[in-house]
């Protein structure tokens, strides 16, 4: 785990999100289970509390086994609304359904999201921004 300037954890009946901001504007989310609309709302709230004018997202969705379609829509809509503030979005997943959802959302986002299917490449991208290693 990275040392963080702020952190929050939330869960619902089907999943959990561990959110942290290791550096101002660097938002790291680890999601487990099913990504629901409620969980997306909570991690959007976390992002909106960032003190930074710009944001870089690192979504570790390695343990995600599915998502609500409304969750994908809500996250894509929010990202489009705040697109000028968002420098990048790296997403780690092994789920074929999540990869498909990211690909669909990425069309609307103009290719903003970079998909990782290898934890090492995701950690390398995160470390290159924070200068800190993850476990």
pLDDT digits (tens, 9 = 90+) for 72-115: 899 999 999 999 999 999 999 999 999 998 898 889 888 999 99
Largest CA distance in the chain: 35
The pLDDT score that the predictor gives to residue 4 is: 59
Average pLDDT, stretch 13-19? 96
Pairing of strands 6-11, 15-23: antiparallel
Q: What 3-state DSSP class applies to 53?
A: coil
Question: Per the domain annotation, does 54 fall within a domain?
Answer: yes
Question: Per the domain annotation, does 72 fall within a domain?
Answer: yes
The boundaries of the domain holding residue 20 are 6-130
Q: Which CATH number covers residue 13?
A: 3.30.750.24
Q: The whole model's pTM is what?
A: 0.91
Residue 33 vs residues 17, 64, 106, 110: alpha-carbon distances, Å? 9, 5, 22, 27
Domains in the chain: how many in total?
Answer: 1
- Average per-residue pLDDT in the chain? 92
Residue 2, pLDDT > 60, answer: no
Average pLDDT, stretch 116-131? 94
Question: Per the domain annotation, does 18 fall within a domain?
Answer: yes
Question: Per the domain annotation, does 135 fall within a domain?
Answer: no
> What is the C-alpha end-to-end distance of the chain, expressed in Å?
5
Residue 76 vs residues 19, 72, 79: alpha-carbon distances, Å? 18, 6, 5
Question: Per the domain annotation, does 1 fall within a domain?
Answer: no
């Amino acid at each position: 785990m990275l040392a963080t300037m702020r952190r929050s954890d939330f869960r619902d009946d089907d999943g959990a999100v561990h959110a942290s901001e290791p550096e101002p504007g660097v938002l790291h989310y680890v999601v487990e289970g099913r990504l629901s609309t409620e969980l997306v709302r909570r991690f959007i709230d976390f992002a909106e509390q960032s003190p930074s004018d710009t944001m870089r997202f690192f979504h570790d969705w390695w343990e995600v086994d599915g998502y609500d379609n409304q969750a994908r829509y809500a996250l894509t809509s929010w990202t489009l609304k705040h697109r000028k503030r968002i420098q990048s979005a790296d997403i780690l997943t092994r789920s074929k359904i999540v990869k498909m959802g990211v690909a669909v959302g990425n069309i609307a986002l103009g290719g903003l999201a970079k998909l990782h299917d290898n934890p090492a490449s995701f950690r390398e991208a995160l470390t290159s921004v924070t200068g800190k290693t993850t476990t």
